[in-house]
Amino acid sequence: MAVPRPVVDTAAGQRFYVRPNRPFKPPRLTAPPANGELNATSNPRPHMKLYYLWIVAFALAAPSWTSAEDKKAPDKPAHKNVNPDEFEKLSKEPNTVILDVRSPKEYAAGHIKNSVLLDFNAKDFDEKVKQLDKSKTYLVHCAVGGRSAKACSKMDGFDFPKVVNLEGGIKAWEKAGKPVEK
């Protein structure tokens, strides 16, 4: 006959069954008797020790399986970030293109002299970037620096060797008192 379990009712109307307090007894890990009979003190699965040993060995060996190429530190971004003064200085060097990656509406509101509009959010942005001459230095900017940083990363991915990002975008450019065309 089953012994009824004690029940605790809470104020919220929930019912909990209380388990009797029994001490935890871990299973004994012993080999089975030589005659093959299992009793209360023998381990029915003696192979489990070996199983756990294999798991530990596998976990310790797995990190060494990665190739040397995978262990390399991630490459630093190929582009460099500069302030407005450095950006202006670089813009006066030969073989340099200023890329404005803002929207056409933002470009019309004011842009750096001789800059080329290449909308970062346009669907064909990647295709247009791939068509650019990789031998030139590209000075990239947007409104505050977010889109231009992403554009520079994309250009890094397309193997452009000389890419420069204007930190703070055209807002930092204007704050530094640099000229803007409308």
Type of residue found at 54? W
Q: Please, what is the Cα angle at 154 between 152 and 159, to 5 degrees?
A: 90
Tokens representing 1 are 């006959």
Exactly one of 142, 149, 152, 164 is catalytic; which is it? 142
CA distance 35 to 63: 43
DSSP state of 111: B
Would residue 152 show up in a list of annotated catalytic residues for this protein?
no
Cα separation of the two ends of the chain: 93
- In sequence order, what are the residues at sequence separation of 6 or more whose Cβ sits closer than 8 angstroms to the Cβ of residue 111? 100, 102, 117, 170, 180, 181, 182
Q: Hey, which residues are catalytic here?
A: 142
